Structures are given as C-alpha cells and as structure tokens.
Chain A
C-alpha cells in the first residue's frame, strides 16, 4: 500500500525547501523529492543569496549557513571592446550583520538548507525523478508517480517546485512550452583563486564580497548580462542571454563565456584562476506575462516553475523562497479547513500577486520584451557611452564645448534626434 503524506514537495531548491521547511515546522508530514544526487547538486544561479527572504524562512540563518562573502559593493560595468564605463555602490554597513546579501555556492548552501528541513521533520529522498502527478477522476491531484519501482506516493497536496521547465505543471496543462524569448541561458564557471588574491584584486578583506554586473560587450550586444562574484576562495564568472538573443546572433554559450573570460577588461581579474566547475542552466525570464496557472485542485506551483524571476534586478532565489513559504502557509490554512480545492488554495495566488513578487514583476512586465524588440539599448548605447567618455576625457586640445557637441552628434547620427528622444522615453516607460 503506497504511503500518504500531508504534503509532497517536488524539487529541493530554494522554493521547495522553503515550503518543506515551513510545512514540517508546523507539524505537517512532508515528503521532499529531489532529482539530483543531493539537494544543490543540479541547482544553478549566479550566486547571490538575498538575506531578507531567507531570513523569513530561517531567522538568523547567517550564523550557521555555509555562505561565502557578504556583498558590500555592487559594481556595474558597461563594456565596450577596449573600454568600459563603470559605476558602483559600496556600503560597509552591508558587511555587518545582518548584511544585505551574500555570495553562495549552491551545492553547499542547498544541501545545508534541505538538511534544516529534515531537522524539522521533513522526509527527503534524493536521486528520484517525479514523472507525473497522479490525478483522480475528478481532476484532483492526489499524489505523484516517480521513476522508481513501486514509485507511487500520495498526499493531500502536491507543491511543484521542479524548476524552470516544470514538466509536471506542463503535463497538467498549466503552461505551454516556453518560447525562446521567455528563457535565458546562463553559463558560468566557478574558478579557484586564493583568498588573498581575491582580496587584492577586488579591494576587499576576508569578510567582504563584490558583485559585478556586466553589460554591453559581455554579451556582444545581445540582451543579457555577464557577472563576476567573489566567493571565499573562488569566483563565479558567467554570462547569460535570452535564448532568442543567442539564436538571433548565432552564438554558442560556451564560446560566449570564453569571450568574456578573455575580455581585456575582465581577464586580469581571473588571471591564474583554476576552473573548478562548469555550469549551465535555463532561467525563466518571461516575467509577469509568462506566469502560468499557479494552483489547481490539490496542487500549487512555486519558484522557477512559476517563472518568478525579476531579470532586471537579478532576483529569483528570493522570490522562490517567498513563494515556497506562501505555498506552505496556504496549505496550513487549507489543512484547517480540511479542503485542498483550487478555490481554497487560490489564496496562494492572490497573496503572491499582492506581494513584492507580483508587484515587481508587474512593474517590469514590458522591460525584457521592449529590450528584445529594441536591441539598440545593448547594441548601440553601451558603445556610444564609451565613445562619449573617450571624447570627453581624451585631452587633445579640442574645446570641451565642441566635445559635447560632438558627443551629442554621435548619438543623434546613430539614432536620429527623434530616435534618441523615443529611446529615452521608452526606457523610462518600461522601468518607471
């Protein structure tokens, strides 16, 4: 006779583990199923963990969790072939507890996080693939089927945190195959570098980290960004663009990463670093409009599976955690009512849309779409910015007034006066 749990959570990433942790902490009998060898073994992100949403699941987690460095400086690089315009914000306050955000290595962090859910009483099984939801005659999800012999297991409610592709939600008809412009492909490497060298190159001490977001030539003008984050004694370097951008420019992701690593502005930072890991993953970047159906009878979708990523602010794992926690809270309410229908579980959806997740995703609902349709922002303006700086700051006997005129002209020549005005207006509209 197959077992029955209160809750089955599929996928031990930030969303799934947050959900399992919260459910178990509140006394529910939870089964957490992970496909990888251990939680974190298959999970990928650039490497920034936001403190706030994690803290809401486990207070003061930083005292115990395997974190790398608190980020005290966020740098932004606008890269051309042999130049860059940069801006940054550094804040020593971020280096003091409770800090703002941290760099993490997911293989370590997720494993630890899942172990905390197990401590709360959740049952975790690894190396097990959920192939489909078990649906009864009335269309209610009543359990899951795994790829193992005697692999059926039942629950009052199933939470799908099975990641960006979410084949399980797709099988339930909650969403269609994602379009190439709705997902980004990110490739990255973890590279070993001595702590001392990192401190020197990034101008930090042992307990301080830096995050660098790189625009422009890092993606060779495609819609996307490169990044460079400091861990304790390694760095994460990567680049991601929308799948459609990659297809349009006929780029190969691993070539793009090599291009980034060899870029004269970036190479000195990773000189001598030894490659430890190579990772690649799809990121759901369809935004607000891509959010699928989130609840059904006996089922909730959270995290990447629900396409909860704010590409502009590179937030995703935090939204995953919050959504997982909201799912757990909804389930507790449903348990009190003794009813797991779509009608009852729907409070998860409304709560999600009312939270920062729904609001932020709505704010940027047209951003990616607009940048995709108007490649000039990444393709033309970053080089123009660099050219403008070059003109302004190269001392060549030209009067500054004439330089300014020349810069203005370079912009209008490329885009036309009306074009520049339109571009500015459009950019302001989509991020306002």
Chain B
C-alpha cells in the first residue's frame, strides 16, 4: 500500500511571540518544527506500512529550510520525501497550497499509485484545516477529517474503516480507497525513533521540485496570485477572565465545586458509542 503524507513546517506556536502592532506572528521568535499533527500522520502511515507493506512518501511545500521537517519524517520512518520549493509558490493560501500539492501528487502518481493520503488535522500556525480536504477535492477522493483511529484497512476490497472525532464522541465510517484522512493527535503516540532511522535521516536529502518540474501547472493558481483569501482584520483573542476563588473549609469548598460542576452539566457529557 502506497501512503502519501502531506506535512508542513511551522513555527513552534508554544513559544512564538505576536507582534503587538500588526498582530502577526513573529516567525523569527520561534524555532521551526514539524507540525505536530503531521507527525502523528506520518507515524500512522509507518504503522500501516508495517502491517500492509508498501511505501510511505512525504510531501511538503515550503522554503528550502523545510527540508528539516521532511528529515524529521524520515526519522519517524518515512521512506521518501519530496519538497516543492519555488518563489512562485510563496504567499499561498489553502486554495493555492492544495493546488500546488495536488500538482506534485499528480506527478508522483505517474510513477506509482497512491492508495491513501494522510494529513494532520490542521497546521498549528494557521489552524484552518482546509488544505487536506482541498487536496481530496482536487484528487476526487473522499476526505475523512478528524480521524482518531484506523480500525481496518482491506487492500483487497479497497476499503478502510476509521473513527472520526465528533463533538460528543466519534463516528465509525467506511470508505473506499484511495481516500484522504486528516488525523487528530489521539490517533497514536509518535514512537521514539530507532537509531537506524536517525542515521538514515541524518544522511537523507529530500527530493526538491520547482514549478518547472511539475506538469501542466496553471501559474495563475499558484502563490499569492492564486490565493483569494483576504485577511480583513486580526486581533488577539480575548484573555479569559480570572479563575473564581472558592473559599471556606474543605467540606464547604467541595460542596461548592460539585454544585458548580453540576450546574454546568459537565457530568452529563454524552460519551461516544456506536
């Protein structure tokens, strides 16, 4: 089974600073990392490969520094990594990004088929979660978002069964292959990479494609030109109000807490089921 994972290099938003004047991210203030959800996607691909055989290929779009993120995927266990990198891709929104990635996937599919595409549920810098479904739409395959478990893959019948996270639990869905999954972090724990993977990643050079390496590209759909998104206004989210202080002895405090929780009905949360 050939699995393709689309990944993105992002600034580590845990430590990133926001420019107080423009409200944009100060990208120099944080190191670039592999988008954490994408790491889970690669891990899932590697696990599926261990069971079903085949090959895990990683694809990313970004500046040359994004090679580091692809190498990280090789550490996790991916076999091959492609980076499409070109000034003409720059400034892309999710529409243009999914187009560029789709064009690269088309080119890859000339050499080998793709049975399954995996993405993280969203990138932690933009939080849109649109690129994955965008790719699926262009490939004309079903997108299954927010996947927390791959229950079954049948490569003979070309079927897959996954669990999708929904508000009050999860839903179990069957789809034909090929399809595209975007995964939640609950899907797996990224394993501590074995030493041979580390050595391979250290020496690995991702394959880099420019626009000219892709076939039949409509330049108008790339980069800033191909991006209809307009950012109207940006503002920092309102800070949540301070915590409520519950005073009194332990018994009184406990009573008040229980009353508070009950009043908010959090104890009646519906657990997921089939």
A residues bordering B, Cβ < 8 Å? 2-3, 31, 123-125, 128, 146-153
Contact = CB atoms under 8 A, between A and B. Distances in A.
B194 interface: yes
Contacts of A31: 199
B193 A3 contact: no
A150 B191 CA distance: 13
A69 to B, nearest CB: 21
A124 B202 CA distance: 6
A148 B192 contact: yes
B196 A150 contact: yes
B196 A3 contact: yes
Contacts of A148: 192-195, 198
For the side of the interface on B, what is the size category? 10 to 19
Closest 3 CB pairs of A and B: A149-B194, A148-B195, A150-B194
A147 to B, nearest CB: 8
Interface in B194-253: 194-196, 198-199, 201-203
B194 A151 contact: yes
Interface in B77-123: none
Given A149-B191, A150-B196, A153-B195, 20 more contacts: A2-B195, A3-B196, A3-B199, A124-B202, A125-B195, A125-B199, A125-B201, A125-B202, A128-B195, A128-B198, A146-B195, A147-B192, A148-B193, A148-B195, A148-B198, A149-B192, A149-B193, A149-B194, A149-B195, A151-B195
Nearest to A125: B198
Nearest to B196: A150
Q: Which of B193, B195, B196, B202 has the most CB of A within 10 A?
A: B195
A417 to B, nearest CB: 61
Contacts of A128: 195, 198
Contacts of B194: 148-151
A123 B199 contact: yes
A236 B192 CA distance: 35
Nearest to A118: B202
A151 B192 CA distance: 11
Contacts of B203: 123
A148 B198 CA distance: 9
Contacts of B199: 3, 31, 123, 125, 153
Contacts of A123: 199, 202-203
Interface string B178-202: 0000000000000111111011011
A282 to B, nearest CB: 26
Contact of A152 (B193, B195, B201): B195
A150 B202 contact: no
Interface string B158-193: 000000000000000000000000000000000111
21 contacts: A2-B195, A3-B196, A31-B199, A123-B199, A123-B202, A125-B195, A125-B198, A125-B201, A125-B202, A128-B195, A146-B195, A147-B192, A148-B192, A148-B195, A149-B191, A149-B195, A150-B194, A150-B196, A152-B195, A153-B195, A153-B199
